[in-house]
Amino acid sequence: MRLRRALLFMPGDSRSKIEKGIALGVDSIIMDLEDGVALNSKPAARATTAAALRELDFGRSERLVRINPVDSGLHLPDLEATVSARPDGYVIPKVEDALQVQVVSAWLSHAEAAQGWQPRSISLIAIVETARGVVNLREIAESDARLGALAFGAEDLAGDMGAARTPEGWEGFYARSAVVLHAKAFGLQAIDTPFVRLDDAAGLEKETRFAAQLGYTGKLAIHPKQIAPIAAAFTPTEQDIEAARRVVSAHEQHQASGIGVFELDGRMIDMPMVRAAQTVLDKARAAGLAV
């Protein structure tokens, strides 16, 4: 599956921000047609996003479009205006049940057939950011083969629940934990909520580290300066890689002598730790690092 550590949002009606985003070499670029765009600018945003997809070279960045919610009456014009420009995928906000993913997927299947493109070549990411979406996580996670990731949206969820947004985010912790758990249960990537305090670099770093510790594989970004710290938090450091290598090689030596559990640096090592070390090495390989 494609590496998605930092995914940078920008309003789909801003050609200059799209161009700026491309120049940053971020994993994924999300051109927004939903809440970052005023209602009377939706047609302009669709046209600007489609033109950018046709005209610009996105380099190694994935090209994603966030449509308006299914049932908003806006998502079909969003899809119709952009699909022929062939984005790599669509991001669906405020997903509340499996059917909302399936209707978009079925629409894309027709479009792919009509264009002669490979079936299921356009991927989907579902943002879960309402109380109903959290309650229905299981059916959403297993809704459709096109779905590659679940994303968590803390701001909308707090609004939907009448909860207060706090810097610590405990009001959304159950949902944040449930999103990553369901993603992992069904083989999906898990993408954490954006960090909206633009001038709080230490806060971003802390929140992103915690997301990585929970098992998240990436995080939404809303400003160029957030990309490097986010990408770093989801990429193993040299020390992480070295420590993982030691665990795997000690494990292999002990296995060869018929020993399953052993001690390394004062810590018991058995299969869960070996699997965790292998995950670190897999992540490093996916990021193009030598392991």
Binding region for Mg ion (CB under 5 A): 153, 156
Options 3, 4, 7, 11; binder of ligand COA; rule CB under 6 A: 11
With respect to Mg ion, which residue has the nearer C-beta, 119 or 159?
159
Taking alpha carbons only, the member of 243, 235, 280 closest to residue 265 is 243
Q: Distance (Å, rounded) from C-alpha 291 to C-alpha 283?
A: 10
Can residue 229 be called a binding residue for ligand COA (CB under 6 A)? no
**Chain center to CA of 81:** 24
With respect to Mg ion, which residue has the nearer C-beta, 78 or 156?
156
Q: Distance (Å, rounded) from C-alpha 200 to C-alpha 233?
A: 16
Beta strand ranges found along the chain (DSSP E):
6-11, 28-32, 62-66, 89-92, 123-128, 147-152, 189-192, 218-221, 262-264, 267-269
With respect to ligand COA, which residue has the nearer C-beta, 68 or 241?
68
Give the tokens for residue 216.
């998240």
Can residue 165 be called a binding residue for ligand COA (CB under 6 A)? no
**Residues 6+ positions from 276 with CB-CB distance below 8 Å:** 244
Give the tokens for residue 254.
């002990």
Classify strands 123-128 and 262-264 as parallel, antiparallel or unpaired: unpaired
Q: In the complex, what is the shortest distance from the CB of residue 238 to ligand COA, in angstroms, rounded to a whole number?
A: 30
Partnered with residue 151 across adjacent β-strands are 127, 191
- Binding-site size for ligand COA (CB under 6 A) equals 15
Q: Distance (Å, rounded) from C-alpha 17 to C-alpha 9?
A: 9
Can residue 209 be called a binding residue for ligand COA (CB under 6 A)? no
With respect to ligand COA, which residue has the nearer C-beta, 17 or 283?
17
Options 6, 7, 10, 33; binder of ligand COA; rule CB under 6 A: 10
Q: Could you list the active site residues?
A: 270
Q: Distance (Å, rounded) from C-alpha 249 to C-alpha 251?
A: 5
Beta strand ranges found along 81-161 (DSSP E):
89-92, 123-128, 147-152
Options 184, 209, 223, 254; binder of ligand COA; rule CB under 6 A: 223
With respect to ligand COA, which residue has the nearer C-beta, 65 or 277?
65
Options 5, 21, 28, 123; binder of ligand COA; rule CB under 6 A: 21
Residue 128 backbone phi and psi in degrees, to 5 = -105, 115
Partnered with residue 127 across adjacent β-strands are 151
Q: Contacts with ligand COA in 115-144 (CB under 6 A)? A: none
Can residue 17 be called a binding residue for ligand COA (CB under 6 A)? yes
Can residue 58 be called a binding residue for ligand COA (CB under 6 A)? no
Q: In the complex, what is the shortest distance from the CB of residue 36 to Mg ion, in angstroms, rounded to a whole number?
A: 9
Can residue 194 be called a binding residue for ligand COA (CB under 6 A)? yes
Q: In the complex, what is the shortest distance from the CB of residue 56 to ligand COA, in angstroms, rounded to a whole number?
A: 13
With respect to Mg ion, which residue has the nearer C-beta, 30 or 108?
30
Can residue 20 be called a binding residue for ligand COA (CB under 6 A)? yes
- The contact set with ligand COA (CB under 6 A) reads 8-11, 16-17, 20-21, 32, 35-36, 194, 222-224
